[in-house]
Chain A
Amino acid sequence: MSIDSDLNEFLELVGKFEAENRPVDLSTIALELKRHVNEAEKVLKTALTSGLVEHNDGVLRLTDKGRSVVQAHREHYLHEEYGHGHSLMGRVTRLLEGRVRDWRGHWRKRHGFDDRALENFYRSLGELKGRIEEIQTLADLRQGEKGVVTLVLGGHGLVRRVSEMGLTPGTEVSIVRSAPFHGPIEVKVRGVSLALGRGVASKIFVKGLEKDAANGA
C-alpha cells in the first residue's frame, strides 16, 4: 500500500523485535512485511533519514521520535478499528467524525475517557509488546478460539472490575459461546465461566492463540 502504512508496520516490527531482544535484519523484516527485500530496504532508508530508527551495534532500535510515531499509529489504528465498533451505526459515526485533530479531547469527549483512563491508555499503548495489528478484541474471537489478555481499554471502574474477575494481562481466555443479535459472549477464564456484554468484550484486547498452540501450553 502506501509508504506510510509500510513505514508504520516497519516501525512496529522494529519495536517488537527490540522488545523481544532479537536482532533484526532486512530479510526478516521483508518476510514479516511480505515484501521484497528491495522494498524493505527502501522503507528502512526512509526511516533512517527521518530519524525514526537508529543503528546500535548492528541492531535496529526505535528513536524517541520513532516511538512517538508508533504510539500515534497505534492510537489511530485502535480508533479506526475499534473506536466505534463494527456495526453500521459505528461506521457511520466514524465517517461523520472526519479527521480527528485533538486526540486527547476526542477520546475524552466522544469515548468517555477520563484523565486517569487516558493516562493509562497511552501508557498501555507504549508498553504493548508486539505489533498493534496482532491484537483483537474478545468480541472478535469465535467460539472455541483462545487468546491472551493484553490490555483493557476503558474507564477506571471497568478496567479494575475486569481484572478483578480474573482477566488480568497474560491470562488465557477461551470463548465458550456467544448470544445472537450482538448479545453477550461467554468466556472461560481461570476455570470459571463469565458472561460479558458485547460492549465489555470489545474493550478487552487479546492476542489470539492458535488452537493447537493453546492446547500445548
Chain B
Amino acid sequence: MQQTEHERHLTVALAGNANVGKSVIFNQLTGLDQMVGNWPGKTVERAEGTLHFKGYTFKVLDLPGIYSLSTYSIEEIVARDYIAIERPDIIINVVDASALERNLYFTLQLLELEAPIVVALNQVDFASKRGIEVDAQRLSLALGVPVVPTVAIGGIGIDELLSTVVDVLEGKVELKPLRVRYGKEVEERLDNIESIVREKLPELSAKYPARWIAIKLLERDEDIETKVRSNQNGKEVLEYANAIVEEVERLHGEPSSVVIASERYGIVNNIARDVTRIVSPPKTALEERLDAVTAHRILGYPVLIAVMMVTFATIFVAGDFLVGVLDSLFEDTLIPIIAGALSTVMPQAFVDLIAGGFLSGIGAGVTIALPYIVPFYIILAVLEDSGYLPRAAFLMDSVMHKIGLHGKAFIPLLLGYGCSVPACVGCRIMETDRERFLAGLVVVLVPCAARTVIILGLVGSYVGLPAALALYLFDLVLVFALGRLAFKALPGEPVGLIMEMPPYKMPSMRNIGKKTWARTKDFIYIAFPLIIGGSVVLEILRSTGLAWSIADLMAPFINGWLGLPTITGIPLIFGILRKELTLILLSELAGTTNFSQILSPLQMVVFTLVTMIYIPCIATIAAFVREFGWKRAVGVVLIDILLALLIGGVAYRILAAYI
C-alpha cells in the first residue's frame, strides 16, 4: 500500500435532529465494518465506522439525533460533551431542507459551541416536492460554513460532501462561522458573564468555550451549573450569573431559557426566510393522506392492529422456521459430530461438558435468540425508517400512561408476547433512563412464546382452556399492577410526550440491512458469552449431580411452600436456559408425557404460574444486562423469583381451599 504523507487518522462526527437522514448518510459513508455499541455508561446507541477517502482514514461517528444541546435527555448530554471535549476534527451537521427553521436552531448551537462544521443540506428532493427550494449558497453565506445539498437515500452529493470536508481540513476552504448575536440587552450581559467565566474559571473555559458557558448559565442549564459549582470560584460566578438571569427575566417577563430560545428562533427564522423560496403552493402529499388514515382517531387503531399482527406473524413465522432449521442442524447434526470427534481425543466427562455446556450454549443463542432477534431487528428498522413508530406511539399514549409510561412503550410491550429478548432491546426507544427501566421491568413479565407453550401444553391440555386463559389474563393484570407499582416507587417525574411526527418515508433496503447487521453483531458480542457461560454452569451442575442437591435444598420452597413434588425443582432450574425446557425435562424425569400422573390440576396451575413469572430465560437476562447493566439485571431476577414464589404459594393456598 502506498503511504502518502497526508495519510492521517481523522474523526468526523455526524450531528443533527432526529429523522433527517443522519444514519443514512452514516451508512453511505461507512462500509460494513461499522460497530454499534453504547456510549460508556449510557444506554445511548453509539455507531462508529471507518471511511477511506483521498488518502485519509476517517473515523466516522454517528451522534444521537437530538433537537438541542441542553439537558433534556441523556442523548443531548452525550452529544454536547463529545463535541466540546473530544473535539472531533470536523462535524457534518445534517440538516433537513424541508424543516429548515427547526434544524438551524440546532446548527446555531453547534456554532455557539465553536465546533468546525460542514452542513449537509439533506432531503432537498423531498423539500422541492413540497414546493420548498433552499438556496445552499445563500445559506452558506449566512452561516459562514460550507453547505452541500444532498439526497442521502440516493447517494447524491455524498462525494461532494466528503471533498468539502477534506477541503476544510486542508485549509482550502476557510470557515468563517456566524457569530450568533442576541438582542442588545442579552448580548451585553452575556459579555459580562463571559469575561467573569474566563477570569474565574480558567479550567472550565479551557474545556468549553467561555461564551458558550455564559449562554448556558443564562439559560440556567443544570449540568453546567453543577460543573461551575464544583470549581473553586464557582459559587461567586453562579451568584453573579443568577443576578443577571434575574435581570433578564425582569426585562423580558419570561424565563431566561425562553428568552434565549425565542431569540435563537428569531435569528433562524430570518435566515430561513432569506434562503428559502416557496415555488409552488404545497399540495396534499401522499404521505399526508397516509397520515390522515394511520393517525386517525378511529381508523388508526385497525391499522395499528394490522401492523402489529404482520410484525408478529413475520417474527414468528420466520423465527419458527429458523429455529426448526437451526435446531435440527445443531442438536442432531453438529453437536453429535463434534462430540464424536472430541471423544476420540479426550475423556468423556470433558466431551459432555463441551457438548452439553459450551456447544448447547452456542446452540441456545443461535437457535433461540437469533432467529427471533434478527427478524425483529429488520422490522424495527423498517418501522423506524418509515416513520410509523411515532404514529403508533401517538395512538397508544393514553393507554400506556396508565402504567406511567408514554405511547412509545407500547412497542416493546407487544414484542414481549413473542420473545422477551427483542422486547428488552426495544425498550431503548424510550427517552429517559427511568422510562427505559420501567418498560424493561414490565416487558420481561409478558408471557413470551415459550411461556405460552407451557401455559397451553400443561394447563390448557390437562386442566382446560378456560384455566389457561385465566392464567393469561392474570399475567396481564400482573404486568399492569407491577408497572403501576414500579411507576410509583421509582424516583423521578413521568415524562410527558413531546415527539416529532416526521413525514412518512420509503425505507431504504441498504440502510435496513446495515442497521440490522450492526445491531446483531453487537448483540452477539454481549449476549453470547453470557448464554454460553450459563450453559456451562448448568451442565456442570447436571453432570456432577449438584443439581439434585440443589433440588433437595429447594425442597422446603418447592414442596413445603408451593405444594409441588420435589422433583419439579430440577426442571425449574433448567428452565433458566430456555423456558420450554421445563416441560421437556419434567416429562423426562417423570418418565411419562402424561403429566396428570405426576401433577394434580392444582399443582399444574401453580407450576405454570411459577414458570411464567420466576426468571426470564438466560438469553433475556443477557439482553437485560446489555440494556440496563448488571445491578438492575440481578435486581429484576431477584424480584421475579420472589414474586413467583409469593404468587405461587398464595395461589396454592387459595386454590386448595376452594377445590
Contact = CB atoms under 8 A, between A and B. Distances in A.
Given A123-B253, A198-B398, A161 B72 contact: yes
Interface in B148-198: none
B496 A200 contact: yes
B205 interface: no
A85 interface: no
Contacts of B200: none
Contact of B496 (A178, A190, A192, A197): A197
B657 interface: no
Contacts of A179: 295, 297, 300, 394-395, 397-398
B68 A164 contact: yes
Interface in A176-204: 177-184, 186, 190-200
B501 interface: yes
A163 interface: yes
Given A123-B254, A157-B72, A195-B390, A162 B399 contact: no
B50 to A, nearest CB: 34
Contacts of B297: 177-180
Interface string B310-332: 00000000000000000000000
B261 to A, nearest CB: 4
A144 interface: no
B498 A191 contact: no
A163 B399 contact: no
Given A123-B253, A179-B397, A186-B394, A170 B262 contact: yes
Interface in B57-80: 67-68, 70-72
A134 to B, nearest CB: 17
Contacts of A158: 496
Interface in B397-427: 397-399, 401, 406-407
A155 B493 CA distance: 11
Give the bracket for the number of chain A residues in contact with chain B: 35 or more
Contacts of A192: 99, 101-102, 500
Given A180-B298, A196-B497, A191 B398 contact: no
A126 interface: yes
A127 B257 contact: no
A211 interface: no
B101 A190 contact: yes
Interface string B79-118: 0000000000000000000111110010000000000000
B258 A195 contact: no
Contacts of B354: none
Contacts of A120: 249, 254-255
Contact of B105 (A119, A164, A169): A164
B261 A160 contact: yes
Nearest to B99: A192
Nearest to B295: A177
A159 B498 CA distance: 12
B105 A166 contact: yes
Contacts of A162: 498
A155 B222 CA distance: 13
Nearest to A159: B255
B397 A159 contact: no
B499 interface: yes
Interface string A200-213: 10000000000000
Nearest to A177: B295
B501 A195 contact: yes
Interface string B483-507: 0000000000100111111110000
Nearest to A198: B398
Of A177, A183, A198, chain B has the most CB atoms within 10 Å of the CB of A183
B503 to A, nearest CB: 8
A164 B260 CA distance: 9
Given A163-B257, A163-B262, A184-B397, A195 B499 contact: yes
B504 to A, nearest CB: 11
A3 to B, nearest CB: 30
A164 B67 contact: yes
B562 interface: no
- What does DSSP make chain A's interface, helix, strand, loop or mixed? mixed
A178 B501 CA distance: 13
B623 interface: no
A164 B261 CA distance: 6
A110 interface: no
Contacts of A59: none
A32 to B, nearest CB: 24
A166 B265 contact: yes
Interface in B368-418: 390, 393-395, 397-399, 401, 406-407
A63 interface: no
B393 A195 contact: yes
A152 interface: yes
Of B395, B496, B502, chain A has the most CB atoms within 10 Å of the CB of B496
A199 B496 contact: yes
B258 A159 contact: yes
A165 interface: yes
A156 interface: yes
B68 to A, nearest CB: 4
Given A193-B500, A194-B498, A124 B398 contact: no
A169 B500 contact: no
Nearest to B71: A157
Of B219, B296, B498, chain A has the most CB atoms within 10 Å of the CB of B498
Contacts of B398: 179-184, 198
Contact of B501 (A171, A186, A191): A186
Of A120, A126, A159, A184, chain B has the most CB atoms within 10 Å of the CB of A184
A178 B497 CA distance: 13
B397 A197 contact: yes
B542 interface: no
Contacts of B298: 180
Contacts of B262: 163, 168-170
B101 A127 contact: no
Given A186-B394, A197-B397, A156 B255 contact: yes
Contacts of A165: 67, 102, 498
Of A123, A161, A198, A199, chain B has the most CB atoms within 10 Å of the CB of A161
11 contacts: A124-B253, A159-B255, A160-B219, A163-B258, A163-B262, A166-B265, A169-B258, A190-B269, A193-B501, A197-B497, A199-B496
Given A120-B255, A195-B500, 14 more contacts: A123-B254, A124-B253, A152-B258, A156-B255, A160-B255, A162-B498, A166-B102, A166-B265, A168-B265, A169-B262, A179-B394, A184-B398, A186-B394, A200-B498
